[in-house]
Structure 1
Amino acid sequence: MRHYVLLVALLLGSYYSRAAQVTFRVDMTGQTVPAGGVHVAGDFQASAGFPANWNPATTALTDADGDQIWEVTLTVPAGEYLYKFVNGNAWPAAELVPATCGLADASGNVNRQVVVGGAAVRLPATPFAGCLPMLTFRVDMTGQAVSSAGVHVVGNFQPLAGYGAAGDATALPLRDADGDGIFEARIALPAPARFQYRFVNGSTLAGAETVPAACGTADASGTLTRVVDATAAVNTTPALCFGSCAACNGAPATNYPTYWWNDAVFYEIFVRSFYDSNGDGKGDFAGMTQKLDYLNDGNPATTTDLGITGIWLMPMMESPSYHGYDVTNYKATEPDYGTMAEFETFLAAAHQRGIKVIIDLVLNHSSSQHPWFTQSASSPSNTYRNWYVWSPTDLGFGPFGGSGWHFRNGQYYYGAFWDGMPDLNWRNPALKAAMWDASRFWLKKGVDGYRLDAVRYFVETGTTHSDTPETLAVLQEMHDSLKAVNPQALSVGEAWTNTRAVIPYVQNNRLDICFEFDLGESIINAVTQGSPTALRTQLNLVNNLYPRLQYATFLTNHDQNRVFDGLASNQPRMKQAAALYLTMPGVPFLYYGEEVGMSGTGADENKRLPMQWTAGARAGFSTGTPWRALNANYAQFNVATMAADPNSLLNHYKKFIGLRNASPALRKGYYLPATASAAPVISYARVFDAEMVLVAANVSGSAVTSPALSVAVSTLPAGTYPVTELVSGQAAGTVTVSAQGGFSSFTPTLGSLAANQTWVFQIGAATPTSVTPAAPAFALVLYPNPTTGPVRLALAAAPAARSQVQVFDLTGREVFATRFAGAEYALETSGWAAGVYFVKVQSGKKVAVQRLVVGL
């Protein structure tokens, strides 16, 4: 049930499309205010109409009545914003926000936070560089069909905290940022007090919970409410079930949600280059249908197919170009590829084989030949004029150097990528409605989601062309539009930038996953350079920053030189790169032909050459003249030749895709760093339920003799287990797992790990040969998780005896231990290093272990 509710919870966030006023207030008592005055800076500024975010000199506060309370009222879209005050107009004069009332960013900088819902917010006056009492509301929505209007909280705290009247159910929205079913919001209070409150499923009091008498206190109207004593500097409410006095029972096997795409392996297809069914030299829908059995024949018992369970089609809508990223009709197929009926036949055949299909959706720009644009360009007074971005002058900016502005009919239009692809104006409600309509059209056809091109560039603010708040708001609207048609529709974003800058795109109900470019580059560099150090760092970073498993892994795609060229056509290195990303967390995407060593560098057309099916005429791609000349290496590197060679790159891909498809731990297990005794070996573990898969990869060019592998702590039950190496099927010895789920210096009985070889060990899927006596499990819930502060440990029921709690870091070091009575315990994590911990609670013979993420 929790998994279903988390899918429903993805429908939240519609309040972000509204706008409301927010009044920032700061108490400057005791401060010497300079002639430059007092300012506020944050990520709200561009949304409020200022030139850029985080500018300390543009958003001034005033103190009209001389009471030392400086303030400013602005209108912003509903959402969450970070900010801080500046005593002056330059960053050296900015306040240092204490950690107790701020949020630390990835660089360790601490900012204040405000939540803006559907009503005006007037914040209490906070001392400059000081704190007011903080109160975090939490509710567990497990078992609830969460309203598309979101979850809110109401109570008598609202007037004091500046969130309207006590019963305004639109004012303070809660969010489930980490997807664990627990919704929360944090506010500042002017003074400590006891407050009454209750939660609302929706944005009207009709959706308010009925608080049971066992934990309810009547308010002035006789309505039963919850009560919180907010008398400390930091206060939190227990995350009890909506409408209940207890924590939700039944902790899941993992403390994070997974979705259908976590079970998938995707294959990226450029339709024009995959297979030509009619001899015109261009790939088509009918050709893809004919080749589906190569990808997945629908029979799990066979081993001749690749094992693909998802397909991403590069643009297949009507377009004048070979690549299709300049669309002329968002509701038509590209005529070169076939009719709508042929596309629907392909889609049905893929689904029959258990293959999901997502398609490229190009939202940033259209073709300059699209009727919308030709009409927009025809006259400044045309209905479609504001569907694009026009200026009387060349404004001179663009994301790729030089100007993105292009002259036409006396004015300039913005086309960030090319003059043939004018940017759409996402500030225009009519354009937005047309694009949402197009996106719903294909979902109703049955596609399973979208790969979204160039998501960083949707909305420009001033001269800021990428990553604007307005762009993120559009993606939140898109999320609601897609999920309203199909709650399980997948959105995959191309946010081509560094990992930390990608993270906002997978937060706050925007995109489901994004491509992880930095990780792909790190894999290739590690294999090329023979050192795993940077890859290990990047892998840890990715798994710390993203929601669990929610990112796309790959080596290269259609915009990059093919990976086989990047690895100098070295097949052992190519095999190892594939083994790494197919065993790592995330959702893997293969680029067509990668599995047979296709090459391609330079011009984009050369990276998208016809698929190499055979060593015969025209590589088996077409009976006619291919639209682009074939790769020179097709005679050796092709499907037919490699399928006949048990040691080929193609059969290596089949092996590792098969291992992933067969292993829940490889598809949706959490990640643990492991250590190896040999420097060239990178090792990591994946754990799901009672199974661990341990990976050891030697990225060097020399063999490593008997590397010893260690994992400090996990949720794997204690015991002695047989170990099987899954690639070869060989027995590899036994390993004894400690009470903390770890083991030290496991040395496989396989001898040397060859150069560029990867071992994949299965531990724990079978019954262990011996089990350490003890420990029937009992339900333990940690909330919030992840956390940046206090954590509640909630048991399903209060044990008769006192319970012991122990916390271990990833090295297995005990960082905290105590005993407590009852069903709950408050664990304070402030001062702990950011990272993953394991919390073990034992009462008598019963024991429970859960992962806890702190400060990430």
Structure 2
Amino acid sequence: MHNSLFTPMKNLLPIFLAFLFLNLIACEPKKPAPEKDNLEGKAWWKEGVLYQIYPQSFKDTDGDGYGDFKGVIEKLDYLESLGITMVWMNPFFESPMVDNGYDVSDYRGINPRYGTMEDFQAMLDGMHARGIKFVLDVVVNHSSDQHDWFLQSRSSRDNPYRDYYHWWPAEKGTPPYRHSLFDPEGAWEYDSLTNAFYLHTFAEQQPDLNWENPKVRQEVYDIMKFWAEKGVDGFRMDAFQFASKDTTWPEFPEGHEKDFIKWYGMRPQLHEYLKEMYAEVIEPYGVFAVAEGAGSTFQDAHDLVDADRKELQMAYHFETVDLSRTPEGYDLADFKNVFSKWDSAFAEKGWISIFLSNHDNARMVNRFANPDPKFITPSTQLINTFLMSMRGTPFTYYGDEIGMTNIDMPTIEEYVDVEALGKYQAAKSSGQDMEEFMQILNYNSRENGRTPMQWDATLQAGFTTGTPWMRVNPNYTEINVSAQDQDPTSILNHFRKMTKVRKENPALVYGKYELVQKEHPDIYAFTRKGEGQNLMVILNFSKNSSSIKLDQLPTESNLIINNYSDVNVNDQDMSLNLKPYQALIFSFD
């Protein structure tokens, strides 16, 4: 009898279990559907154009002098008009703002200066509605010394968070010297509370997290998941090549800090951690990640980003921006060489970004174009043409689309940047020529790249109705969005043309790069071949006219871009005569 009753129930059991399983799946938190890319082939983050926003300098809506999320929301249509497809925003987390947000005290909290989480979500949704993806700046080489983890860590030696950071007990003596990029006294800071030193690669208020502790790594992955589930599309990993440390603390040779990356970056364990990150976050959420820095060698860079490594998807190196660190400027031959060798190294595998400015550098116009009012328009158009024509994902810094320039800050009293102040003290202590030091600092300080966005010619450049956190560049009355918006020959509208040209010509994304007439002293010429196209890019980097002989010349029918109204060709000797800073792209057979 029991058997006869059990038989129909037994037959229903698989149905019941299936129903239960489906309900459990339905209740599970939803993850964003990953976008499937052929990582060594085509991918949205390869085809995109990234625009970097320094949030406190972009647009202020509440009159406190700091940019905010609502300011970005107000300018979403402007961003869409640029033709950009990604936005990377510098940190907006809770922070004491010692390093303008790169000292995070709460990775899930919004600094009230910028708004609320609801404001962030509205901004993100507004970008997505316009086809713009969002890249979050993740600062996890270090935290703020006001983060709860560090407050717990320094409270006692047996606190559960003690190993979230690197500590050296004072009874062991002086710790082995480690260089700090911001602190002339070095990277170990004494803390009397537990009679120990903690490590800080940057400012003393930025203690380094201990990535060798698996609990720390899991905390980071959980933070990334938190933001991915809000809809973030990618991550920029700040200072990440320095995250892993050799905790045996060997003695480094004297002067080792001159080759900082070799001694402090790219430890083998870093790749283990990146593979963990890929498996936990990158792959399941369909996001991408770009590393700040690319190690010391091409192999270092490939080990970070080659698709079969399953680590990161893109890296950017600093060799190009390092070309112009002093007022003497750069040499075009070196410029060609650096870009050409990096392209060659990544011709078959891996992917890099293409950029000439960001929040850690002075303005692109002063360093690579020509800020002279006579030449600023064509020279900036030329640089933007170049950036949009190279293989790699172009990164554009806010204001570069209108030709914003450096701001004159000749005395140290004007500087608030922790890096600038640290370098000044180090230079003074070592007996450097301080007049020369200030000339170089005035030229290359990253504060040049952080002045408020110049929207129009009204008071404070239309950035704020209050007092801006940083002085507006006085040239805002001439260089601003409003003045350029309706001018078809402006820097701004040339930038818009170039993003369109890049999207419409896939050879500029995936095509083979080949340098033409490498030794030409004034002209940077190269071809991009692929995707059924042959394109020639001709750029006169000189303030003087210059000519070049070619096998094929531009005509009215094959000319794609020109930042002047005409082209001067000589069919008899097959030469092309270019005006100062003239930039051309044309197709050829």
The TM tier, using the shorter chain, reads 0.7 to 0.9
In the alignment, which of 421, 424, 437 is matched to residue 222 of structure 2?
Answer: 437
Residue 331 (structure 1) shift: 1.2
Q: Which amino acid aligns with 1:725?
A: L
How has the CA–CA distance of structure 1 residues 353 and 381 changed in structure 2, closer, same or farther, with 3 Å as cutoff?
A: same
Task: Tell me which protein shows more helix as a share of its residues.
Answer: 2
Correspondence 1:571-590 to 2 at 5 A:
571=376, 572-590=378-396
Identity %: 32
Residue 670 in structure 1 maps to residue 489 in structure 2: no
Residue 512 of structure 2 corresponds to residue 727 of structure 1? no
TM-score (norm 2): 0.76
- The alpha-carbon deviation at position 748 of structure 1 amounts to 10
Greater strand proportion: 1
- Answer yes or no: is the 8 Å Cα contact 2:236–2:290 preserved in 1: yes
Write the letter of the residue equivalent to 2:66.
K
Match of 2:405, as an amino acid? S
Shift of 1:421: 0.7
Aligned partners of 2:548 and 2:575 also within 8 Å: yes
Q: Which has the larger radius of gyration?
A: 1
Query: Which secondary structure state, in structure 1, belongs to the residue aligned with residue 515 of structure 2?
Result: strand
Separation in 2, partners of 1:406, 1:458: 18
Paired residue type of 2:186: S
Please tell me whether the aligned partners of residues 708 and 748 of structure 1 are also in contact (alpha carbons under 8 angstroms).
no
Asked if the contact 2:333/2:519 (under 8 Å) is kept, the reply is no
Matches within 5 A, 1:87-166: none
Amino acid of the residue matched to residue 112 of structure 2? Answer: P
Give the C-alpha shift of residue 484 in structure 1: 3.5
The change in CA–CA distance for 1:761 and 1:748 in structure 2 (over 3 A counts) is farther
Aligned equivalents of 1:399 and 1:502: distance in 2?
23
What is the alpha-carbon distance in structure 2 between the residues aligned to residue 506 and residue 309 of structure 1?
21
CA distance in 2 between counterparts of 1:677 and 1:366 reads: 47
Q: C-alpha distance in 2, partners of 1:704/1:404?
A: 50
Q: Which runs of 5+ in 1 are unaligned?
A: 1-178, 182-255, 297-304, 712-720, 735-744, 765-856
Task: Give the 3 Å change call, closer, same or farther, for CA 597–354 of structure 1 in structure 2.
Answer: same
SS at match of 1:596: coil
In structure 2, the partner of 1:609 is 451
Matched, 1:313 2:147: no
Separation of aligned partners in 1, 2:584 and 2:134 = 32
Which residue is equivalent to 1:50? Answer: none
* Structure 2 match to 1:495: 293
Q: Secondary structure at the match of 1:633?
A: helix
Name the residue aligned to 2:144.
Answer: 367
- Partner secondary structure for residue 210 of structure 2: coil
2:234 to 431, 444, 449: 449
The residue that corresponds to 1:756 in the other structure is 581
Please show how residues 647-686 of structure 1 align to structure 2 within 5 Å.
Answer: 647-675=489-517, 679-686=521-528
> Are 2:217 and 1:406 aligned?
no
CA offset digits 1:450-495 (Å, max 9, x no partner) = 11100121011134532211223222222222224323x1211111
Structure 2 counterpart of 1:397 = 178
**Ranges in structure 2 where 5+ consecutive residues have no aligned partner:** 1-36, 251-262, 407-441
The corresponding residue for 2:545 is 703
- The 5-angstrom pairing of residues 450-529 of structure 1 reads 450-461=235-246, 462-463=249-250, 464-487=263-286, 489-495=287-293, 500=298, 501-507=300-306, 508-521=309-322
State which drifts further: 438-447 or 602-611.
Answer: 602-611
User: Does structure 2 retain, via aligned residues, the 8 Å contact 1:524–1:555?
Assistant: no
Q: Is the 8 A contact 2:180 2:200 kept in 1?
A: no
How far, CA to CA, are the matches of 2:530 and 2:96 in structure 1?
48
The one-letter code of the counterpart of 2:560 is L
Please list the CA deviations of residues 356-390 of structure 1 after superposition, one character each: whole Å capped at 9, or x if unmatched. Answer: 11010011011100011001000001010011110
Quick one: which amino acid aligns to residue 459 of structure 1? Answer: S
User: How many angstroms apart in 1 are the aligned matches of 2:87 and 2:572?
Assistant: 39
Distance in 1 separating the partners of 2:515 and 2:325: 19
Say whether residues 1:264 and 2:34 are aligned partners. no
Q: Which segment drifts farther, 256-265 or 398-407?
A: 398-407
- C-alpha deviation, 1:497, in angstroms: 5.8
2:379 counterpart of 1:379: no
RMSD of aligned alpha carbons: 3.2
1:542 aligns with 2:342: yes
1 CA distance for matches of 2:479 and 2:85?
24
Aligned to 2:118: 341
Q: Distance in 2 between matches of 1:584 and 1:536?
A: 12
Contact 2:266-2:295 at 8 Å conserved across structures: no
Q: Distance in 2 between matches of 1:524 and 1:499?
A: 21
Is this contact kept in 2: 1:562–1:598, CA < 8 A?
A: yes
Q: Distance in 1 between matches of 2:522 and 2:552?
A: 15
Equivalent in the alignment of 1:239: none
C-alpha separation between the residues in 2 aligned to 1:561 and 1:518? 15
With over 3 angstroms needed to count, the CA separation of the structure-2 counterparts of 1:499 and 1:662, relative to structure 1, is: farther
Q: Per the alignment, in what secondary structure is the counterpart of residue 461 of structure 2?
A: helix
When normalised by structure 1's length, the TM-score is 0.53
How far does residue 639 in structure 1 lie from its aligned partner after superposition? Answer: 0.8
CA contact (8 A) 1:317 1:330 kept: yes
Conserved? CA contact 1:267–1:590, under 8 Å? yes
Query: Are the structure 2 counterparts of residues 634 and 605 from structure 1 closer, same or farther at C-alpha, using a change threshold of 3 Å?
Result: same
Q: CA deviation at 1:666?
A: 1.4
How far apart in 1 are the matches of 2:587 and 2:317? Answer: 27
Q: Secondary structure at the match of 1:360?
A: strand
**Are the aligned partners of 1:520 and 1:553 in contact in 2 as well (CA < 8 Å)?**
no
| TM-aligned CA deviation for residue 670 of structure 1 | 2.5
State the partner residue of 1:357: 134
